[in-house]
Amino acid sequence: MGAYLVLYPKVHVNMLIFLVVFITTVRIPAIFMLIYWLDIQFLGGLNSIGNDVCGVAFWAHIGVFVAGMMLAWVFVPQDLLRQHRYYGWQARAQIDT
């Protein structure tokens, strides 16, 4: 997910929303979902401190997220990063063909 944020920082995702009997989708920036996911991991890790529950997975998810961001910056060519930043998967489809 960290590499996804580096490669596609401006893309939007469709989020499915359930409100009692009303079901719809909303298009939001992917960064909001990633921040929400990180918050859940961080709060879950904080909640596990001092409890009998092992919170290793929460901290591992955060660590791998950061590692993915750093590895994407190191190993993905900068010109490819610039192209992905604005066009998302569409640019990738053109590169692969």
Please indicate, yes or no, if residue 73 is contained in any of the structural domains: yes
Domain-embedded: residue 76: yes
Write down the pTM of the prediction. Answer: 0.68
User: For residue 37, is it within any domain?
Assistant: yes
Residue 95 lies in a domain: no
* More confident call, 50 vs 2: 2
Residue 21 and residue 84 in contact, taking contact as beta carbons nearer than 8 Å: no
Token pair for residue 88? 């998302």
Across 36-62, average pLDDT = 85
Total domains in the fold of the chain: 1
Q: How confident is the model at residue 87 (pLDDT cuts 50, 70, 90)?
A: low
Is the residue at 68 inside a domain? yes
Residue 94 inside a domain? The answer is no
Range of the domain at 37: 2-89
User: For residue 97, is it within any domain?
Assistant: no
